[in-house]
């Protein structure tokens, strides 16, 4: 018989969030259990000893689906599995026997030899595909487990690594690609990036964090590392007593709950960067939430605690040398494009030349040839930006045009159209198991269409194409953010489409893009739709309003009218 009596009152005990620092050491989900059983870093030894010789089938499921990320490896999506299956398919249906391999480039700076090693891995083992990502990594695809040890050997022989490129770890540390070769910086932050990366990447003290953990350390006045959306940011400032150092910011991130980082009001002298990095990261390790993966990023703790408490606990429990002085905010970074592209003057009279692949996608052989150009025209130094671009530095000014022409030959334009400059795309359905839609190819198509339809368009309108809500290509901070979704056709079939977010900006008065309610455009209508938006913007804007400031000046009804698709693009609501 069913018991219909009133249930016993629930205990008022607050639900633990699995925070180690409060004594909760029992794993509360499968990912925490796997990490507890064996540190992800230990998978390296098994890859070399067992999995590479034994092939894909010798890989245990926990290592395959969790720990291999600690070494930058993630199975890629099986070809041909449609976006409709993403939410419901079993892992076996989605995962291919090939890997995506992420190579971390802390600070984004590579030597030509390093770039050649990456190109070799792509050409030899990765079907000549490579992606320059929006976090200064290079991501390879089609990697077989058998080839992983020899790729590591080659990469490590030139000082590159895939360690902690993925997983619940300190990921690549962002830095300005022009660090040390621009006047537009508070100072060159490179030594501080190195100090942190050398000491702490691979340190078992920080290899079991509640979730991924992203750092930016930069003195760039353009804010090109997007410090507002990192877990931990050191933002270059001149602090008390004219001392160079950093404003400390924590708790930024995008995905489904986007948040901008909060200032703690503290000043970090440069010689305290490693200590403070370890302090904030230790605080996250101890107090970060480990119950739900969806609430495990540092931003949720910062939101709940607020910056004052974060600073207090940091200084009391985690800083060896005690409290930090108060410090000034950084100069406001520009709200729009934060890119280092084209021919840019260096303080030493030489120039840096930034150029744009198609939404981050390059071929390994293009990288090999670009490495050669950096030797022939520069000092053999190539930098990756946090916007999926590359920069060759130290070029004699009178040879800049020749380098630009040589890059054009490789389809890597330094003076490309505004659409080539400002379009980004995430990995998408081609290789990503979380994707709903295709991205890189669509972004390239969209760019080409817009170049043809709007040849005179002059403003860097940032168009970011994403394959799902995770926002790896940052749709919430784009002028036009496109996010894949499925939309029913009149015949009942489902079709690729995009949800639209408009007017995302960072910097002073920054705001996440406004979702245009009810508008879902079929993917094949994306070029028509973006063209329409840009033409309306050109007609209606006042003065030199940027796209985002124009959009953000509209009230809800005006925005709906502005973003209304053309009638021949079907029923939209």
User: Which residues sit at the interface with ligand HEM, rule CB under 6 A?
Assistant: 74, 100, 102, 133-135, 137, 139, 214, 226, 229, 254-255, 426-427, 431-434, 470-472, 474
Q: Which among ligand SF4, ligand HEM, none contacts residue 100 (Cβ within 5 to 8 A by kind)?
A: ligand HEM
| Choice between 150 and 256, CB closer to ligand SF4 | 256
CA distance 573 to 151: 50
Distant-in-sequence, close-in-space partners of 386: CB < 8 Å, separation ≥ 6: 108, 134, 135, 136, 174, 224, 225, 226
Q: Which among ligand SF4, ligand HEM, none contacts residue 428 (Cβ within 5 to 8 A by kind)?
A: ligand SF4
| Window of 50-58, 187-195, 421-429, 563-571 that interacts with ligand SF4 by CB under 6 A | 421-429
Identify whether the C-beta of residue 98 lies closer than 8 Å to the C-beta of residue 125.
Answer: no
The answer to the question of residue 81 lying near ligand SF4 (CB under 6 A) is no
| Choice between 232 and 472, CB closer to ligand SF4 | 472
What dihedral do alpha carbons 537, 540, 545, 550 form, nearest 10°?
Answer: -70
402 SS3 class: helix
- Nearest distance from C-beta of residue 472 to ligand SF4, angstroms: 3
Enter the DSSP assignment of 241: G
Residue 332's CB is within 10 A of a number of other CB atoms, namely: 12
CA distance 140 to 90: 24
**Per-residue tokens: 228:** 């507002």
Which residue in the shown chain puts its C-beta closest to ligand SF4?
Answer: 467
- Nearest distance from C-beta of residue 293 to ligand HEM, angstroms: 8
Residue whose entry in the numeric block shows the structure tokens 């916007």: 387
Sort residue 388 into left (φ over 0), alpha (ψ -120 to 50) or beta.
left
| Choice between 98 and 246, CB closer to ligand HEM | 98
Q: Which among ligand HEM, ligand SF4, none contacts residue 182 (Cβ within 5 to 8 A by kind)?
A: none
Query: Cα-atom radius of gyration of the chain, to the nearest Å?
Result: 24
- Nearest distance from C-beta of residue 294 to ligand HEM, angstroms: 8
Size of the site for ligand SF4 (CB under 6 A): 12
CA distance 252 to 283: 15
**Per-residue tokens: 26:** 């029992």
Interface residues for ligand SF4 in 258-297 (CB under 6 A)? none
- Nearest distance from C-beta of residue 188 to ligand HEM, angstroms: 22
The site map against ligand SF4 for 445-484 (x = CB under 6 A) is ---------------------xxx-xxx------------
| Choice between 307 and 428, CB closer to ligand SF4 | 428
What dihedral do alpha carbons 169, 175, 180, 182 form, nearest 10°?
Answer: 180
| Choice between 237 and 472, CB closer to ligand HEM | 472
Angle between helix 112-125 and 148-157 (nearest 10): 170
Sort residue 257 into left (φ over 0), alpha (ψ -120 to 50) or beta.
beta
Q: Which among ligand SF4, ligand HEM, none contacts residue 134 (Cβ within 5 to 8 A by kind)?
A: ligand HEM
Q: Which among ligand SF4, ligand HEM, none contacts residue 495 (Cβ within 5 to 8 A by kind)?
A: none
| Choice between 298 and 425, CB closer to ligand SF4 | 425
Residue whose entry in the numeric block shows the structure tokens 């938006």: 533
The site map against ligand SF4 for 423-442 (x = CB under 6 A) is ---xxx---x-xx-------
| Choice between 368 and 464, CB closer to ligand SF4 | 464
Q: Which among ligand HEM, ligand SF4, none contacts residue 468 (Cβ within 5 to 8 A by kind)?
A: ligand SF4
| Choice between 173 and 468, CB closer to ligand SF4 | 468
Identify whether the C-beta of residue 356 lies closer than 8 Å to the C-beta of residue 420.
Answer: yes
Q: Which among ligand SF4, ligand HEM, none contacts residue 133 (Cβ within 5 to 8 A by kind)?
A: ligand HEM
CA distance 388 to 408: 17
Identify whether the C-beta of residue 261 lies closer than 8 Å to the C-beta of residue 233.
Answer: yes
Q: Which among ligand SF4, ligand HEM, none contacts residue 467 (Cβ within 5 to 8 A by kind)?
A: ligand SF4
| Choice between 366 and 417, CB closer to ligand HEM | 366
Identify whether the C-beta of residue 226 lies closer than 8 Å to the C-beta of residue 339.
Answer: no
Sort residue 509 into left (φ over 0), alpha (ψ -120 to 50) or beta.
left
Which residues of the chain form contacts with ligand SF4 (CB under 6 A)? 426-428, 432, 434-435, 466-468, 470-472
């Amino acid at each position: 018989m069913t018991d219909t009596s009133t249930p016993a009152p629930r205990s008022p005990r607050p639900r633990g969030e699995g925070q180690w620092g409060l004594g909760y050491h029992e794993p509360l989900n499968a990912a925490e259990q796997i990490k507890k059983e064996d540190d992800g870093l230990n998978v390296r030894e098994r890859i070399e000893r067992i999995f590479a010789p034994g092939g894909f089938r010798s890989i245990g499921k926990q290592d395959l689906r969790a720990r291999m990320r600690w070494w930058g490896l993630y199975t890629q999506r099986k070809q041909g599995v449609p976006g409709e299956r993403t939410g419901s398919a079993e892992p076996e249906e989605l995962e291919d026997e090939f890997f995506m391999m992420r190579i971390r480039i802390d600070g984004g700076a590579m030597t030509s030899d390093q770039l050649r090693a990456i190109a070799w891995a792509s050409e030899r083992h990765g079907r000549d595909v490579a992606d320059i990502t929006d976090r200064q990594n290079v991501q390879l695809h089609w990697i077989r487990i058998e080839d992983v040890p020899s790729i590591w050997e080659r990469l490590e022989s030139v000082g590159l690594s895939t360690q902690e490129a993925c997983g619940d770890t300190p990921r690549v540390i962002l830095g300005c690609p022009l660090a040390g070769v621009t006047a537009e910086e508070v100072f060159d932050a490179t030594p501080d990036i190195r100090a942190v990366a050398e000491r702490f990447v691979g340190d078992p003290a920080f290899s079991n964090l509640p979730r991924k953990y992203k750092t930016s350390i930069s003195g760039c006045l353009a804010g090109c590392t997007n410090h507002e959306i990192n877990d931990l940011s050191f933002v270059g400032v001149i602090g008390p007593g004219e001392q160079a150092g950093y404003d400390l910011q924590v708790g930024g991130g995008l995905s489904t709950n986007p948040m901008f980082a909060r200032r703690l009001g503290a000043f970090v002298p440069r010689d305290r960067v490693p200590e403070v990095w370890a302090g904030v990261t230790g605080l996250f390790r101890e107090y970060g939430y480990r119950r739900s993966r969806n609430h495990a990023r540092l931003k949720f703790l910062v939101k709940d605690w607020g910056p004052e408490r974060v600073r207090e606990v940091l200084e009391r429990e985690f800083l060896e040398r005690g409290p930090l002085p108060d410090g000034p905010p950084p100069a406001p970074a520009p709200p729009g494009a934060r890119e280092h592209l084209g021919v840019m003057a260096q303080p030493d009279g030489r120039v840096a030349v930034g150029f744009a692949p198609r939404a981050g996608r390059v071929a390994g052989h293009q990288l090999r040839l670009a490495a050669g150009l950096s030797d022939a025209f520069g000092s053999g130094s190539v930098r990756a930006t946090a916007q999926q671009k590359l920069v060759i530095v130290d070029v004699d000014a009178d040879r800049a045009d020749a380098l630009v022409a040589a890059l054009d030959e490789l389809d890597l334009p330094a003076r490309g159209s505004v659409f080539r400059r400002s379009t980004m795309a995430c990995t998408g359905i081609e290789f990503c198991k979380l994707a709903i839609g295709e991205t890189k190819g669509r972004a390239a198509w969209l760019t080409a269409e817009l170049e043809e339809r709007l040849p005179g368009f002059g403003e860097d309108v940032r168009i970011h194409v994403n394959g799902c809500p995770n926002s790896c290509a940052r749709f919430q901070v784009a002028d036009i953010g496109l996010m894949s979704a499925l939309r029913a056709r009149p015949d009942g079939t489902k079709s690729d489409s995009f949800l639209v977010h408009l007017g995302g900006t960072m910097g002073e008065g920054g705001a996440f893009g406004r979702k245009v309610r009810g508008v879902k455009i079929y993917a094949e209508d994306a070029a028509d739709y973006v063209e329409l938006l840009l033409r309306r913007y050109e007609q209606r804007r006042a003065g030199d309003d940027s796209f985002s400031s124009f959009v953000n000046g509209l009230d809800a009804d005006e925005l709906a009218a502005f973003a209304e698709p053309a009638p021949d693009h079907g029923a939209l609501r």
